[in-house]
Amino acid sequence: MRRVKLDRIDRRILRDLQENGRITNVELARRAGISAPPCLRRVRALEEADYIRGYHADINPEALGFGVTVFAHVGLSSQAEADLRQFEELVQTWPLVRECHMLAGETDFLLKVVAEDWDAYQRFLTTQLTAAPNVSHVKSALAIRTGKHLPGVPIDIHAAGHHE
């Protein structure tokens, strides 16, 4: 994986792709002020350098029957690296868990869980999450509404320097 020094054009490409992953290369190039072939080369280089991890559709959970989002604060009995990894590997097998973040502080992991309803979440909680090895406690926080949902990071196209 080689690193790319990001210039204004690269940051513009990243910002535009983050806002609309289905933008055509021709439109992406037009917005960046370059022609299509070098734009495509830049996108490929940004992908290879791991600035772009992938592309996906932003699916509406409610439209597919997932009416509940819960943030589960999970505490483990042991924070040994092998136990942390074992928990993360187990989380990979649970489709209802959409995000898993290891935290510093009293909560070891924060999980974003989607479910059809509160009862479905409770079933997941009791049969899988709290039953998992090394889980000592779980505090559940039901999301009431989402006031902001933006993917990625803020990208300033005029920023000086680059991040590696």
Is residue 162 over pLDDT 60? no
Report the distance separating Cα 125 and Cα 130, nearest Å. 6
DSSP state of 126: I
Report the distance separating Cα 45 and Cα 4, nearest Å. 7
Report the distance separating Cα 60 and Cα 146, nearest Å. 12
Mean of pLDDT values over 139-161: 90
Mean of pLDDT values over 155-160: 82
Write down the pLDDT at residue 91: 98
Write down the pLDDT at residue 159: 75
Mean of pLDDT values over 21-43: 97
pLDDT band at 2 (very low <50, low <70, confident <90, very high): low
CB atoms under 10 Å from CB of 22, counted, come to: 8
Report the distance separating Cα 97 and Cα 113, nearest Å. 4
Domains of the chain: 8-48 (1.10.10.10), 62-142 (3.30.70.920)
pLDDT band at 67 (very low <50, low <70, confident <90, very high): very high
Which residue has tokens 């439109």? 27
Beta-ladder partners of 114: 69
Mean of pLDDT values over 21-41: 97
Answer left, alpha or beta for residue 157, where phi above 0 means left and psi between -120 and 50 means alpha: alpha
User: pTM of the predicted model, to two decimals?
Assistant: 0.87
